[in-house]
Amino acid sequence: RNLAGKPAMVADTMAVKYANSINSVHYFARLPYGLNDKAVMKRYLGESVIAGKTYHKIEVTFQKEGGGDDFDDIYVYWFNKITNKPDYLAYEFLVDGGGKRFRKALNERYAEGIRFVDYLNYKPATQEVSVYELDSSFMQNELELLSRIELKDIQVNPGNYN
């Protein structure tokens, strides 16, 4: 963690929360890269229409071996049928009491050939709705805007990533 461009001390009790937050931002920023990793299990759920566009709806889960700390989370991606880019995603997580989120990608840009997007991050009014149905909830305006996730000052240093 940096404050005003200088390393800042972080209490041990907060270090895991910051690490998880950074990992989450990094994971979503890299999409769709990483969805072909060995631990990834994909299942085609059919087509879905959101805002007049047709999407391939795909479930992504992870094997325990190599799937990271949150291997039991469930993800659903909506890949635009024309561009093949993930315009929407939803996930169900268990950490910190669990929950569900639905994200809409926006502000697409590229740095050194890598796609970056920001997200509008929504949550359902009730946790009873299935993660698989959050696209319908979104279209029916049944989701609450929780936050806007913006990537700023993006710097890619070729040779420092694999």
Domain chopping of the chain, boundaries: 35-149
Average pLDDT over residues 119-143: 96
Q: Write down the pTM of the prediction.
A: 0.79
User: Residue 94's pLDDT band (boundaries 50, 70, 90)?
Assistant: confident
pLDDT of the residue at 4:
66
User: Residue 15's pLDDT band (boundaries 50, 70, 90)?
Assistant: low
The Cα–Cα gap between 123 and 126 comes to: 8
pLDDT of the residue at 38:
78
- pLDDT of residue 18 exceeding 50, the answer is no
Of all residues in the chain, what percent carry a pLDDT higher than 90? Answer: 46
Answer for the pair 94, 63: CB distance below 8 angstroms, yes or no.
no
Average pLDDT over residues 88-101: 87
pLDDT of the residue at 105:
95
pLDDT tens string 54-82: 999 999 987 767 555 566 788 999 999 99
Name the residue with higher pLDDT: 156 or 104. Answer: 104
- Give the rounded distance of the alpha carbon of 7 from its chain centre: 27
Alpha-helical regions (H) of the chain: 12-29, 134-139
CB atoms within 10 A of CB 142: 15
Of all residues in the chain, what percent carry a pLDDT higher than 70? Answer: 70
